[in-house]
Structure 1
């Protein structure tokens, strides 16, 4: 991140008391310049309190009433039926609020690993991240991985400790855990700005009921002010004499941490010499360090009590976001090309520049139709404008590439179940766009006469197959359209029409992802489907040399059919496919009918000769045959060729071949043993391991695909959510005889 602070509307962190705010309830929060915008994404494991925190921030900012409701009576979480029923986030959601004249686009992401695609979309749309950590549950491995990803691109980050009301909560201990987990080589870059103020016993809803003090306020380490929330609104006061010694050590450490990140190289010498650094200097240096991504403050937050106007720590968070997090113009210039791949000058966040916006989420509204959540990186997007849609390189997942013009519909700002109209969206802002019928997640919107393409972000590969079939004839008629719309909304999902197994397969990220997809098919598109067992495409081959004779002779009056051929079949090395050779002598089979025999053999091989799986890795040699001058035909010799191959199979062992995949698994070092043991139980062969960074190991193995249908779920359990893997087809190889017999028996029962 660049560190320029020009034209910033600052709200200094940790300065004095409650800020009067007019609120934004009932109107769209709009921004007329990029410097008045902050885009922040909330990251954290499921149950850490992200959505509750978003609602608390909206209440403090005046966007919802004291009951946490929008003016139509709904809550921010009422807009999605599946989320409302499950009580967990399953998709990226945007809540725009206003604080001190600054528009804050708060992006709430799901915490479950199955919805990591929604998380990555939120990271793409944001300029900074708030990591939400539960004081009761700690830091999980998946959250550490996301932190490292943000660190790799220099995204500014701060931490929010929630669930302070839990009986197991300990803010100081949780801060120490965060320093160890996220501090890396510089733990003093992760320090608290406030300490929780506990007073009186917890009430019945406060966790364990053990009588330990409840959190009623915060003590500002820089300002040395007490911020009391016990009345339902933040009230600033001077600390009591006995409270100052309690914060001295933490305050000194914070000051040293801020000064270490200061651009003023003389500041540390002055501090060590005993000079009292003024609050304004410290605050400005803190804001610069946060915006650069080199200092990561830790704050505390709790939901508001019934009837309260502000939740604990929400004012401090809003001040941090507006004062410390970067503005969109501070984001590095964006690399762009033409749709044909020709480079163009990097784009800055300029409302007057060329239009470049990106669809970060696609959803369907039962009344409006398709709605696209768009981040504008350059230029200004206006309703009814004609834009060029380019993207997006995910054709292998059923998402076609786009290079079309479309008219933008209405612009709006989402707020719970509502869409509040916007007149425009300037560079740096986010908005919802209606009626983009072709644009999908990851596509670029640009000017029609100057089409551009943004480099797409990395999407996780869906690796859990789910075979589906229509529940009824009525559902069958709507299935294709429903699946196409579902996949258009979610680039982490892949739709496959398998030509070998004749199954429709949805590839998902996990079981929760699968369940949500099938429920959306039902509730949103009116298509009921049944999940059926996913079939792996097996093949067959001959286990030894064999001969066969095909005789197709029919005389039914008039023109008859006559064809006889004799073939020899021998197995070939894996990957050979099917070879056909002609060794007929003396014209026993006329030359014009030899291709007919081959065509019949290949057609029968495609249908299989034992269990109905395609035949491969054989050489078929035509040795002899007979023909009739009148009754022989192309069709007759095709039939004879197929009959000869089937007869050869009856006199020989036919082996089943199963597909084998190369699997590349990235896990933490302490999970390598369990992963390799698990692979062995899946008939896998480990072909190598290598170090892949600090504390990470890459395991390469070859595993039958029959054994890894649920590996996306099982690896997550083995690695505590931190393992990742990829798979690619290598070859088909013979299946163990006992397993082949079991599969044949199962297929016979299905038949």
Structure 2
């Protein structure tokens, strides 16, 4: 594959609702370009984008794939991102390095939640957008309905560049509003045709809207517009190009990825209207890793090389592939680079350009382009690699918090290490996966974005690492404490010939008021009934005792223990004896001081559109939550609540269901509170069964 200048490159991410036709559209573009001789289909598992076994099996994209297409002396780096919410991390990776986005909308289904999310991702990275309405060959497709939905949600920047031509309710062509010419689909190409008379009113209305947008882009054009002077085609296209880049214009094109109609026009439009890296990111800003000062990075081959690793692929044959975007300079084969994040040098022995599963080795990659390193020693997604002569750290990738979790264990005993190793390898590919060891409950917790995400991790572990796992509901880390004050005696006495063992303590136990600490220890010994040198032994006894409560074996918190009296033997007393006496006293106290179970309370922040507020609050109430307040956040509402963590299991899936995917939440531990009596009873019963 030849080397392209920055001005000739277009880095474009395809975003949209799951199943809207992104992968089919990429396949259609590859077919138009001649990369594939026969256009593949998602349902047949033979597209160049979806090549992973899981994607083929399930019939939808799981990972972002890069498909470079050479068109009109330009290189279109198409980043086909998954549309399902469980794989938002992949969409975030692709959007981070893209200069523009195609938002794919089904003409049959219209604007969906995934469409709204696509706009959010693009706007978060401040990149221009073009909308492609696909499925126009479907008799139920309705472009006008889609346009009205787009305008209602995304405002007046929505600008249709085409009006569809239909005959007998079938999509047979379109009117190019910019050139005011008709186009008719004939087999695998388009031919000029007359604009149907019955469409002229609609065409003129859309044309006038486009011309107004052109006029507003420049004072000279505005003057020309008011004087009734016609714009030239070049003036219109240049103004639209600038309007697309600054976000004031979002073009809408239509066609069908399945039937390959309107695809050539889309590709022409990407070259014509979408920005090159030089336009969108003439320079970006990173920071000096030593001083933290801002550093400007120029998209120019004359500057030192700087690249960001945005995705990692573990290939069974090549090994680890690190996909990168070059932000300045030239990355060359055998080049020494500094990994700023790890403060470690790396040698780029092999550089590739990827097209789906295919790999083409190249000697260099220029500023603005996308490539892949092979077998680098210690490089992760989000790392900056740069010329050691000019160190700079680029902003990483903002991944969503992974809040769906299950306890994970291997089906076969003895495969724990193999399971953990496999998960860590999958974490290299997918930073939204995490595994945490819960030492208290002796469980490994697997975290992901959603339930489907975790199921795919399970499937990949079996397929790639031959480890079969089980995902189960995790145990909640309850606590125990006391509610009443009481005085108890603990005595440890043992005689077995020679020196015996003797320790005797009288202690007062009461709530300390601080449930963040296991216990507070004081002594109020009068007259030396217990010598000072045994006080540390008493404290050690408490440390051992609070590890396991009397009710259900959970850790004890919030206890104040005061040593008030006791006795000792000048020969038989020892530190061990007083420690054992304290443990006996503690056990007695947990019987008489009204022990209770405490449950962890989480602070939950749920952000949803206004329409879902009632459902969300009602659901939080069912989970025994307390709503603490509400705040407006970017046109939505944030509900702040405190909810028992035991009631939040599965909430990520439930929230998505309640809000059709529009809601999001964060969760953090707040404190421990007394659990209701029925919950305490159930916790104690469940714990007894586990033993």
TM-score bucket of the superposed structures, by smaller chain? over 0.9
Partner of 1:222: 178
2:547 is paired with a residue of what secondary structure? helix
Cα distance, 1:435 vs structure 2: 1.0
1:76 is paired with a residue of what secondary structure? coil
Partner of 2:203: 248
User: What is the alpha-carbon distance in structure 1 between the residues aligned to residue 677 and residue 414 of structure 2?
Assistant: 42
The answer to whether 1:343 aligns with 2:297 is no
The answer to whether 1:36 aligns with 2:15 is no
Runs of 4+ aligned residues of structure 1 deviating over 6 Å after TM superposition are: none
Partner of 1:20: none
Cα distance, 1:677 vs structure 2: 1.3
Q: How does 1:359-374 map to 2 (within 5 A)?
A: 359-374=309-324
Partner of 2:472: 532
Partner of 1:318: 267
Which one of 141, 156, 162 corresponds to residue 169 of structure 1? Answer: 141
The answer to whether 1:707 aligns with 2:619 is no
Cα distance, 1:480 vs structure 2: 2.8
User: Contact 2:25/2:258 (CA < 8 Å) preserved in 1?
Assistant: no
User: Contact 2:336/2:346 (CA < 8 Å) preserved in 1?
Assistant: yes
Partner of 1:421: 361
The answer to whether 1:629 aligns with 2:570 is yes
The answer to whether 1:99 aligns with 2:71 is yes
Q: What's the CA shift string for 1:677-727, capped at 9, x where partnerless?
A: 111111111111122233x11211111111112221111222221112112
User: What is the alpha-carbon distance in structure 1 between the residues aligned to residue 61 and residue 91 of structure 2?
Assistant: 11
- Unaligned runs of at least 5 residues, structure 1: 1-28, 200-211, 306-310, 392-401
Q: What's the CA shift string for 1:534-579, capped at 9, x where partnerless?
A: 1121110012113333332333345543322222210122435210
Cα distance, 1:583 vs structure 2: 1.8
Cα distance, 1:251 vs structure 2: 4.5
Which one of 581, 588, 602 corresponds to residue 640 of structure 1? Answer: 581
Q: What's the CA shift string for 1:378-420, capped at 9, x where partnerless?
A: 12222332322233xxxxxxxxxx3322222421122232212
Q: How does 1:256-271 map to 2 (within 5 A)?
A: 256-263=211-218, 265-271=219-225
Q: How does 1:171-320 map to 2 (within 5 A)?
A: 171-183=143-155, 187=156, 189-199=157-167, 212-232=168-188, 234-239=189-194, 242=197, 245=200, 248-263=203-218, 265-305=219-259, 311-320=260-269
User: Contact 2:486/2:508 (CA < 8 Å) preserved in 1?
Assistant: yes
Which one of 428, 433, 440 corresponds to residue 380 of structure 2? Answer: 440
User: Contact 2:438/2:444 (CA < 8 Å) preserved in 1?
Assistant: yes
2:343 is paired with a residue of what secondary structure? strand
2:186 is paired with a residue of what secondary structure? coil
User: Contact 2:68/2:355 (CA < 8 Å) preserved in 1?
Assistant: yes
Which one of 462, 476, 483 corresponds to residue 543 of structure 1? Answer: 483
Cα distance, 1:451 vs structure 2: 2.8
User: Contact 2:4/2:74 (CA < 8 Å) preserved in 1?
Assistant: no
Greater mean deviation of Cα atoms: 59-68 or 73-82: 73-82
Q: What's the CA shift string for 1:14-41, capped at 9, x where partnerless?
A: xxxxxxxxxxxxxxx4433211110001
Partner of 2:88: 116
2:487 is paired with a residue of what secondary structure? strand
2:338 is paired with a residue of what secondary structure? strand
The answer to whether 1:375 aligns with 2:325 is yes
- TM-score (normalizing by structure 2): 0.95
Cα distance, 1:128 vs structure 2: 0.3
Cα distance, 1:94 vs structure 2: 0.9
Greater mean deviation of Cα atoms: 323-332 or 98-107: 323-332
Structure 1 513/257 Cα, relative in aligned 2: closer, same or farther at 3 Å? farther
- TM-score (normalizing by structure 1): 0.87
Count of aligned pairs: 687
User: What is the alpha-carbon distance in structure 1 between the residues aligned to residue 516 and residue 124 of structure 2?
Assistant: 45
Which one of 437, 448, 451 corresponds to residue 497 of structure 1? Answer: 437
1:623 is paired with a residue of what secondary structure? strand
User: Contact 2:17/2:113 (CA < 8 Å) preserved in 1?
Assistant: no
User: What is the alpha-carbon distance in structure 1 between the residues aligned to residue 465 and residue 216 of structure 2?
Assistant: 53
User: What is the alpha-carbon distance in structure 1 between the residues aligned to residue 304 and residue 577 of structure 2?
Assistant: 67
User: Contact 2:450/2:652 (CA < 8 Å) preserved in 1?
Assistant: yes
User: What is the alpha-carbon distance in structure 1 between the residues aligned to residue 540 and residue 209 of structure 2?
Assistant: 80
